[in-house]
Structure 1
């Protein structure tokens, strides 16, 4: 089975489809072809993944042309409850051997055809060949909708943040000397589900020198007394909206002499970045706020990644909090603020909260203390 679905809110869905047409027209796109993934889930509540059979939502920019949902007949049986008629979306099903790409683009005007960013080449090339126009990415069109969360989306992200905070509050139950990172990660993954997520999307337990690798996962390294341990965890709640939060722990007093001073600077850097968040501030200004504190502390070269990433139906999405991104923040944008310091071969630390831009400032969706937690 390639796709699944939840019943969408009709008013919200109609507005999202209207805005998609508007954004496509503004970007000189003749039509968007949205295939399974987070964009399709955002637009009409259809989740799942792309396989060799093409499923697509076709949205012309010209509102005089009908929208179209193209689905293998064998999969549409599971989507019959989606009110496509009420949304003004034609349904075209197909069976093996028929030209699905041709069904998708039939009757579309020439010009630029925008295809979902993660569409398999198998489908992208077929769509381009049948349409004949220039192919482009749909991501820049859809992100203009998805970057600004509505109240219902913000509520789900708060729910996800509260759930992952409850897991961090329990880390002391599992993190102790003599256990491996993998042992601890297994307990954390179970707790992520127990506390309200559908699945543990990722669990990073980086102890001692492994904490100096920002995307270390887990290993069979045995945790030792004196280790600094980075715990970065998250996953989706039933609505599909994600959590992502990092806290740094010490198993007893840190063995490395520079941990306390460096961690104090990291904590100040994370807070400085959160403090500047408000409408009108650019993404790169938030990044610079964190980086400036670490530069002043002589740790700038130890901060080796961007300050944050947007979050919603994807763990990583727009906006990205990084140097060179002059996008101005707006109310409803949600993203991580997660500076880190990494001393190769020795130890590392990171502090991460998800924040939401409000009308006049910022709301943190994670409220666990930022102090180095000594267990």
Structure 2
């Protein structure tokens, strides 16, 4: 599987007249090699040439892991030596490189300088080519997404009884993360969002020390990782009886979210998905309070292509996986967001989530 993915990248390199791609630790490295390596102060690089040859520059501490996962050439160094010697050996082995593809969104300055030290005459962003490959999930990837979704749905159900007046957002977040770990999550792809009351108007309201009070909405946005793949859910719940205004925005978001889900099929654009949700919210008078795109891709990263957003003319095709998560955020009052994870199929879509979307009142 990983070799097949690398072969596709090799074809992209040739079409773009690039001699090699330099990949840093992160989701792209895993996608092409199966290696989970950390991007740290120790230089770590994978180099894939247009001939399909794979090489690594790695610290000694990662040597065994890389050796067990690949037949590629490995140039390693000790902490005492530093990376200079390994880079020189790699440069000698690779020969002269012209244009080299790098990851503008992932690569740090020290890694860019290392790519130049390998002999690259010039560098160019190869991210779009990689995104175009990762955007389409095969059945094995979809199965991992399903497992991640199962973890988060079961963890949410197990956490609901814990949410009550007097409990802090941080305590709820810790409970969610504990329940996910118990069910096999490999971690969290982003800081868990628990945003109650007025803090619900913050789309990225990471859990704080604020105590949940009666009569508040609570936005819960959290994710699990299974086999490297991310599931990402948002549900908004009520603690006690909430105001009619908050109930209204909940129903508007629920209607908008479901409408956007229902239009998904091959051939429509990402813009059309976004506009379907946005039009409903706008016509109900809350357009100014929907302040983000309707969705983002999911996979090895919590946020990746494709993006369901205004003016994105990308045509949806089978295998694309993404979220649909419109929201309304009223300053100093509260907010609502509802999020599902979906995969485009030949004749429509599958919704990986089954969790209820009516307003849960605790």
TM-score interval, normalised by the smaller of the two chains: over 0.9
In the TM superposition, what whole-angstrom CA distance separates every residue of 1:42-70 from its partner, at most 9, and x where no partner exists? 1111112223333222112245xx33223
Q: Is 1:357 matched with 2:340?
A: no
Residue 225 to residue 241, structure 1, CA distance change in 2 (3 Å)? same
Q: Is the 8 A contact 1:290 1:307 kept in 2?
A: yes
Aligned-residue CA RMSD (Å): 1.7
Q: Distance in 2 between matches of 1:140 and 1:102?
A: 29
Gaps of 5+ in 1: 1-11
Does 1:155 pair with 2:138? Answer: no
After superposition, the Cα gap between the structure-2 partners of 1:108 and 1:300, relative to the gap in structure 1 and judged at 3 Å, is farther
Q: Which residue of 2 aligns with 1:4?
A: none
Q: Is 1:208 the counterpart of 2:197 in the alignment? A: yes
Distance 1:29 1:105 in 2: 16
- Aligned match of 1:304: 291
Matches of 1:261 and 1:247 in 2, distance apart?
16
1:80-103 Cα deviation digits (max 9, x unpaired): 22141xxxx333334424433344
Deviations 1:247-288 (A, max 9, x none): 01001111x221222211111110111111111211111111
Deviation at 1:224, TM superposition (A): 1.2
Q: Deviation of residue 111 (structure 1)? A: 3.4
* Match among 175, 190, 202 for residue 187 of structure 1: 175
Where do residues 203-352 of structure 1 align in structure 2 (5 Å cutoff)?
203-237=192-226, 239-254=227-242, 256-352=243-339
Say whether 1:29 aligns with 2:12. no
Find out whether 1:53 has 2:46 as its counterpart: no
Report which stretch shifted further, 283-292 or 92-101.
92-101
Match 1:171 to one of 154, 159, 162: 159
Deviating more after overlay: 205-214 vs 271-280: 271-280
TM-superposed deviation, 1:109: 4.9
Q: Single out whichever of 303-312 and 163-172 deviates more from structure 2.
A: 163-172
The aligned runs of 1:1-80 (5 Å cut-off) are 12-63=1-52, 66-80=53-67
Separation of aligned partners in 2, 1:257 and 1:38: 44
Give the TM-score normalised by structure 2.
Answer: 0.93
Secondary structure of the equivalent of 2:231? coil
Separation in 1, partners of 2:213, 2:225: 31
Is the 8 Å Cα contact of residues 102 and 127 (structure 1) preserved in structure 2?
Answer: no
CA distance in 2, matches of 1:103, 1:283: 46
Give CA-to-partner distance per residue, 1:109-138, whole Å, 9 cap, x none. Answer: 543211233122112123224424221223
Q: How many angstroms apart in 2 are the aligned matches of 1:310 and 1:108?
A: 38
Instruction: Say which structure is richer in strand.
Output: 2
Matches of 1:158 and 1:207, distance apart in 2: 28
Q: Which deviations, in whole Å up to 9, do the C-alpha atoms of 1:137-196 show, x marking residues without a partner?
A: 232121121110111000000111111111222232111111111222221121121222
Deviation at 1:299, TM superposition (A): 1.1
**TM-score, scaled to structure 1:** 0.90
Where 2:230 maps in the other structure, the secondary structure is coil
Give the 3-state SS of the residue equivalent to 1:242 in structure 2: strand
Identify if the C-alpha distance between structure 1 residues 146 and 168 changes in structure 2 by more than 3 Å, giving closer, same or farther.
same
Residue among 86, 98, 101 paired with 2:87? 101
Preserved contact between residue 267 and residue 370 of structure 1 (Cα < 8 Å): yes
Offset at residue 18 of structure 1 (A): 0.5
Output the CA distance in 1 between the equivalents of 2:264 and 2:88.
47
Asked whether the 8 Å contact 2:75–2:86 carries over to 1, the reply is no
- Distance in 2, matches of 1:52 and 1:262, equals 46
Residue aligning to 1:91: 74
Deviation larger for 225-234 or 74-83: 74-83
Match of 1:199 in 2: 187
Q: CA 1:67–1:232 in structure 2 vs 1: closer, same or farther (change >3 Å)? A: same
Q: SS at the partner of 2:306?
A: strand
* Partner SS state of residue 314, structure 1: coil
Which deviates more from structure 2 when the two are superposed, residues 325-334 or residues 91-100?
Answer: 91-100
> d(CA) in 2 for partners of 1:175 and 1:74?
43
Q: In the alignment, is residue 119 of structure 1 matched against residue 120 of structure 2?
A: no
